[in-house]
């Protein structure tokens, strides 16, 4: 049986930056109808290679052939005309525009006219990726923005679809639905380049994998014939570290949330209804949930970004803090890792040292109103070293780091402040297996040092690996927290789909799976009001 010619063929692709060679003589073939994984640690060169294919970055050397003919992909518009679509890990969306307006910008004029909102609704419903076409992007969570990117690509009818961490917004059940969709696309001849740090996904979905390390191809394999451990060894050159998690020895209550009710601050947000939760010293409590079910609003309330009217609705070490802002809560021992690295976790244009100053200035960085530059630089250097951050030094701009390395820096910056309460939202989103294990171990170490840790994540494996108790948020309501030993991924997945009864403001209400995903109401008319 003859092997079909590659749809995409790369030869000798090289791209160097002043401080690093991102891609070094890379060869890659992608066949029609093939689901092809690209694996590697953060900083291995995956994102640069994908941007070259999509026309965002121009290679220094090398050739690209599309369906047997050499091509120059000068820009994304040229890539889209060839039939290449891409879902970026760091999204390329205009925040002040609506979902429909953002999608229209990526479509040819004949596809962007009347009826686009209806087609967005049809495609998003068909693939289980609910979207409201008239909603402004700046009101959306990271997970919801990822849905926009995926639907935008599917509307283009791509012949090669590049997907970078596409499942972080989905329940286990919805992940399988997406996989069915991708397998259907592949059976119809669409090629798929799939980037994920979830090795079980790679093994379940992909027919071939190309492994990058330090910008070079170090091997190819059929991931279906490998184990997660063997794939990890190919990526990192050694065994995958496993977090050490001893039994919890929980102490006094550090963070308490008591019947927190908060109306959404925009028409498409999710109101919080009677949220109650307690996190004790020396334990990790996890919150699972499909993106867009109130995580964004809950994090804003807990961090102090959005103070609430009732001071007693949120307490730190017994003190009412609901009306206090973020700075005052930090002064009381709260540390916070937001889900969005660039823009909220770090200012892209500022250096790593300057970004350390923003939240860690109480660590002897300021004296009598003056910044102690040497102390700032030392704090950044120590964080880079302690957390193995690959960066050009403390003066490197935050935006110059890969996503995983910036995430390690942000987590390290917060942990080194020795907080009493740590809140982390999506702490390992888009992070490679080695860095994810390091971050998880750092959170466990905090817990064992007596810190109260709250982790909000859509990665169930992560939550089961590090948490002592686990709750689920759906449509702005929180389930009872269960001991990890008393539940399982299937039960949590059902709760994420909304199959639990919670006390609403007017009594008992049963959630439907469609309701929890925003599918049982017209856009903007779901359970938004308290």
Which domains are seen in the chain, by residue range? 8-236 (3.40.50.300), 253-333+419-516 (3.40.50.300)
| Mean pLDDT value across residues 363-377 | 95
Mean pLDDT rounded to a whole number for the chain: 87
Residue 156's closest CA among 231, 218, 80, 67? 80
Residue 149 near residue 131, CB atoms below 8 Å: no
Best mean pLDDT range from 39-43, 233-237, 259-263, 501-505: 259-263
Assess whether pLDDT exceeds 70 at residue 526: no
pLDDT band at 211 (very low <50, low <70, confident <90, very high): very high
Q: How many helices (H) and strands (E) does the chain have?
A: 17, 25
**Residue 488: in which H helix or E strand, if any?**
none
The Cα–Cα gap between 47 and 90 comes to 10
- Which pLDDT belongs to residue 530? 33
Least confident of 158-167, 346-355, 376-385, 475-484: 158-167
- Which pLDDT belongs to residue 232? 84
Per-residue pLDDT tens digits for 70-120: 999 999 989 999 999 988 766 778 989 999 999 998 887 777 778 999 999
Assess whether pLDDT exceeds 80 at residue 277: yes
Other beta carbons less than 10 A from residue 152's beta carbon: 24
Best mean pLDDT range from 324-328, 387-391, 430-434: 324-328
Other beta carbons less than 10 A from residue 504's beta carbon: 18
Token pair for 341: 């690295």
Determine what percent of the chain is predicted with pLDDT higher than 90.
58
| Mean pLDDT value across residues 149-171 | 82
Q: Is 147 left (phi over 0), alpha (psi -120 to 50) or beta?
A: alpha
Q: What is the DSSP string of 455-470?
A: EE-S-HHHHHHH-SEE
Assess whether pLDDT exceeds 70 at residue 142: no
Residue 318's closest CA among 421, 415, 425? 421
Strands 8-17 and 61-66: antiparallel
| Mean pLDDT value across residues 223-250 | 79
- Partnered with residue 9 across adjacent β-strands are 29, 65
pTM value is 0.71
Q: ∠ CA(318), CA(270), CA(196), 5° rounding?
A: 95
Q: Is 498 exposed, middle or buried (0-12, 13-18, 19+ CB in 10 A)?
A: buried
């Amino acid at each position: 049986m003859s092997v079909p010619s590659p749809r995409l063929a790369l030869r000798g692709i090289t791209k160097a930056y002043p401080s690093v060679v991102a891609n070094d003589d890379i060869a890659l073939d992608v066949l029609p109808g093939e689901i092809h994984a690209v694996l590697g640690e953060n900083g291995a060169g995956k994102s640069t290679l994908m941007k070259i294919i999509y026309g965002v970055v121009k290679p220094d050397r090398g050739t690209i052939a599309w369906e047997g003919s050499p091509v120059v992909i000068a820009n994304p518009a040229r890539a889209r005309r060839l039939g290449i679509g891409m879902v970026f890990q760091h999204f390329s969306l205009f925040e002040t525009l609506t979902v429909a307006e953002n999608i229209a910008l990526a479509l040819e004029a004949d596809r962007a006219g009347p009826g686009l909102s209806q087609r967005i609704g049809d495609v998003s419903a068909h693939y289980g990726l609910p979207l409201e076409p008239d909603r402004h992007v700046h009101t959306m969570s990271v997970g919801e923005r990822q849905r926009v990117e995926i639907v935008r690509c599917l509307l283009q009818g791509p012949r090669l679809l590049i997907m970078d961490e596409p499942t972080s917004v989905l329940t286990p059940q919805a992940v399988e639905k997406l996989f069915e969709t991708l397998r259907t696309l592949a059976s119809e001849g669409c090629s798929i380049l799939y980037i994920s740090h979830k090795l079980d996904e790679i093994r379940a979905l992909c027919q071939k994998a190309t492994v990058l390390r330090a910008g070079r191809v170090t091997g190819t394999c059929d991931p279906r014939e490998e184990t997660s451990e063997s794939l990890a060894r190919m990526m990192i050159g050694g065994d995958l570290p496993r977090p050490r998690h001893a039994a919890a020895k929980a102490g006094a209550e550090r963070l308490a949330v008591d019947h927190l009710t908060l109306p959404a601050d925009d028409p498409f947000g999710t109101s919080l209804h009677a949220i109650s939760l307690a996190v004790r010293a020396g334990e990790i409590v996890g919150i699972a949930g499909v993106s867009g079910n109130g995580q964004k609003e809950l994090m804003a309330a807990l961090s102090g970004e959005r103070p609430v009217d009732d001071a007693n609705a949120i307490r730190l070490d017994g003190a009412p803090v609901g009306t206090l802002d973020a700075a005052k809560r930090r002064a009381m021992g709260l540390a916070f890792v937001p889900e969005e690295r660039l823009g909220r976790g770090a200012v892209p244009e500022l250096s790593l040292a300057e970004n350390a100053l923003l939240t860690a200035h109480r660590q002897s960085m300021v004296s009598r109103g003056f910044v102690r530059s040497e102390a700032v630089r030392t704090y950044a250097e120590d964080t880079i070293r302690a957390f193995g951050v690959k960066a050009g030094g403390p003066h490197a701009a935050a935006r110059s780091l890969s996503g995983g390395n910036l995430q390690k820096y942000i987590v390290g910056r917060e942990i080194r402040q020795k907080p009493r309460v740590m809140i982390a939202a999506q702490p390992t989103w888009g992070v490679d297996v080695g860095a994810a294990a390091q971050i998880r171990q750092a959170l466990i170490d905090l817990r064992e040092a007596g810190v109260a840790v709250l982790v909000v994540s859509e990665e169930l494996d992560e939550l089961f690996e590090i948490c002592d108790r686990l709750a689920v948020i759906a449509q702005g309501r929180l389930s009872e927290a269960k001991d990890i030993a008393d539940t399982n991924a299937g039960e949590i997945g059902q709760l994420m789909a909304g199959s639990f009864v919670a006390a609403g403001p007017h009594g008992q209400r049963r959630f439907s799976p469609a309701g929890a995903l925003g599918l049982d109401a017209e856009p903007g008319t779901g359970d938004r009001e308290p």
